[in-house]
Amino acid sequence: MAEKEGYVYCMTNEHMPGFVKVGYTDRTPEERLAEANADTWSIPCWKCETSVRVRSPRDAEKAIHLLLSDDGGRVSSRREFFTCSVEYVKMVFAILRTQNPEPTPRAVIMAEVNAVIANELKRSVSICEELATTQGPSPAGSPSSLGGGTGIRESKRIFRDGQVLKHTYKGDEAMAIYRKDSDVFVWKGTEYASLSRLNSAHKQSVNPEIKSAGNAWDEWTCMDVNGNYIPVKNLPEL
């Protein structure tokens, strides 16, 4: 039986400078990161620096470990820790992406154009959604009165890069990661331009008929530096 697809990942920990952890998982990088930060033997807070989906994750991991072990780079043959830079690991991971068939040049160009358009559309829609879910009460009698919030919260001023978020809806748990460089939330490999869009996507995956997703800031939690989950609405600005 052929090995199913999975991910190889690279993690770092601010309490272990100079070391990287490189491994594989048959789940998502978000789930593996949450697991690492939840382990009682591990010092939080781990950050996933990069990951790539591959066809044979176990074989890919072995090849990467062999490459990173040159010149005594591996801490122990029984551990996944190496003394090398994140940039070097990213270069190795970039090579792994060639496992997948390359699209035609025209497909590459169109994909890049569509990605830019889609990103701009997502950001425009997310602004409207944030306004709808966080604005104060509308004038009396207004059909659009939603009540609640105190204004838009800027994700970059609230979340750390690589911070893990968690949400449970009708018994279904979602784990996501915030990427500060691109200001997006990543869940199951898909990027969402706002917490509201992420919240809607999770709820719609469980209940496609849902009409209103509610206020995401009231429902999601995130992992703090001690490895505990706290409500995102209680996070102070960085």
Q: What is the pLDDT of residue 54?
A: 85
Q: How confident is the model at residue 4 (pLDDT cuts 50, 70, 90)?
A: confident
Residue whose C-alpha is closest to residue 27's, from 52, 1, 6 = 6
The answer, yes or no, to whether residue 151 has pLDDT greater than 80, is: no
More confident residue, 110 or 211: 211
The answer, yes or no, to whether residue 97 has pLDDT greater than 70, is no
Asked if residue 145 has pLDDT above 60, the reply is: no
Token pair of 55 as six digits: 């066809």
**What would the mean pLDDT of 65-80 be, rounded to a whole number?**
81
The whole-number pLDDT of residue 120 equals 62
Q: Is the pLDDT of residue 211 over 80?
A: yes
* Residues 6 or more apart in contact with residue 67 via CB below 8 angstroms: 92
The residue ranges of DSSP E strands in 67-194, in sequence order, are 81-82, 164-169, 172-179, 184-187, 190-192
Provide the pLDDT for residue 237: 84
